[in-house]
Structures are given as structure tokens and as C-alpha cells.
Amino acid sequence: QVQLVESGGGLVQAGGSLTLSCAASGRTFSSYSVGWFRQAPGKDREFVAVINRGGDTIYYAHSIKDRTTVSRDNAKNTASLQMNSLKPEDTAVYYCAASSFALPRGLPENYQFWGQGTQVTVSS
């Protein structure tokens, strides 16, 4: 089992930046790829980015890749998602998830463990 807890969400003005953190506990964090997803009200869960176990391979959703950076620190059992130039349409609950797959990509079903999510609201 891996327990994931997101933090860092909140209210931010359009054009601003935000860094979300994902803290992991339980089994060896470095054994898992970490993905980030978001879900806006009334919409399906949307892939944001994924970073592999070693942190040397990262995939981003095309729609936000120019504004997003993900990283991880296996020594601290944490991962982070930084988003810049935020837009109102970035408003959503953001989730981190852990996958035993080497490259789980953007399929939610490839992730075995999920955090509870953190709300990000971007005001115009």
C-alpha cells in the first residue's frame, strides 16, 4: 500500500502560479511512477503529467505542457507539480496517483493508489 496526501491547493488569481505537493508513505515510493490528474466539476478526470520512478522520464498533457513542471524527490518521498500562468479553466481538484507500471501514461486505470485531492481555484 502507498498512502498519498496532496497539499498546496487554494485560490489564486489568473496569471499566477501554484505548486502542489504529494507526500507518500507506506511502501517504497521510488518503486512507483507518480501521475497527476485533475477533475473539474461535471467533467471527467483529466491527465496532467506523469513522472517515472527515477524521475528521468516525464510526460505532460499537450494542453498544459508549456506551463507545467513536475518533479520528485525519492529521498523525501515527495512529488510536486508546478503550474504557471494559471487560467480559470485550470480550476479543478488535483490528484496525485501512484502506479506500479514503468510508464503508466495518462490512463487512470493504470494507477493503483490515489490521494484525496486538493482544490485549486483560479479567479479571473
The average pLDDT across 58-65 equals 94
**For residue 103, what pLDDT is reported?**
85
| CA-to-CA separations, 31 to 87, 105, 121, in angstroms, rounded | 34, 16, 32
**For residue 26, what pLDDT is reported?**
76
Q: Residues 23-55: pLDDT tens digits?
A: 999 778 999 999 999 999 999 999 999 999 999
**For residue 2, what pLDDT is reported?**
92
**For residue 105, what pLDDT is reported?**
87
For residue 83, what are the contacts with CB-CB under 8 A and spacing of at least 6? 17, 18, 19, 20, 64, 67, 68, 90
**For residue 70, what pLDDT is reported?**
98
Q: Residues 78-115: pLDDT tens digits?
A: 999 999 999 999 999 999 999 999 888 899 999 999 99
Contact 49, 57 (CB under 8 A): no
